[in-house]
Homo-oligomer: A and B are copies of this chain.
Amino acid sequence: MQARKNFNDFFKSAFTVDNVIFGFDEGKLKILLIRRNEPPFEDFWALPGYFVQPKEDLEAAAARVLREMTGMENVYLEQLHTFGSPGRHNLGRVITVAYYSLVKIADFRPRAAGLAQDITWHTVDDLEQLAFDHEEIVAVALDKLKKSIRTRPVGFELLPPAFTLTELQHLYEAIWETELEKRNFRKKILSMGLLEDLNRTQEGVAHRPAKLYRFDEAIYRKLEESGFNFEMKESKSK
């Protein structure tokens, strides 16, 4: 096949992590983008990302980027896909491990500090052209998110600790780009027994205030162990 090589003879490549950070606000699904202030793709919006350090674990690198850019810690973070086409970066070969995270947008405090870069939320259905292959990465992340909220209770990561059923429904509708039937949605989600009624209601709304719920993760863990499968369906109806 080929002669035995010394380890250091093998090709090495730069590698980064890029983070698709999802948030939910004003009834819309958003992602956090950073405006580049140096070439290549200067002035384009891009996914937050950075080079992985020599002794740094991949997930740690993704968490670091998240912390440095947004000040947020302990948020939902999961590896998505690795993108490594030889031509994806024009300064040389860069392989990127993409992560996606789900954050409560209210906790976001942009840490623009030393960066002098814009960091802002963009609604996903009207993105301009992004740097590098980041549009493709976002597309893969969206696809993953759509599947993910179907089979795991991750949607709650995008909502505040106390939320109304209508807010939760709007979240699903925004991600799936469908409309769901109110009574059936409530029946389904409540029947799983994962929501705790907080016996509180919304305040400051000009109509009947809705009850507030929280997601009970402890119960979910217990149910999961005994074979329970979370599952929501995109029904076809209005």
Contacts and interface: CB of A to CB of B under 8 A. Distances in A.
8 smallest CB-CB distances across A and B, nearest first, come from A12-B12, A58-B84, A82-B82, A7-B91, A11-B54, A10-B51, A55-B86, A1-B114
A13 B11 contact: no
Contacts of A51: 10-11
Contacts of A92: 7-8
Contact of A58 (B7, B56, B82, B227): B82
Contact of A13 (B12, B57, B79): B12
Contacts of A12: 12-15
Interface residues of A, number: 35
A95 B57 contact: no
A81 B84 contact: no
Contact of A86 (B1, B56, B85, B227): B56
A38 interface: yes
Interface in A194-238: 227, 236
A115 to B, nearest CB: 6
A145 interface: no
Interface in A14-38: 14-15, 38
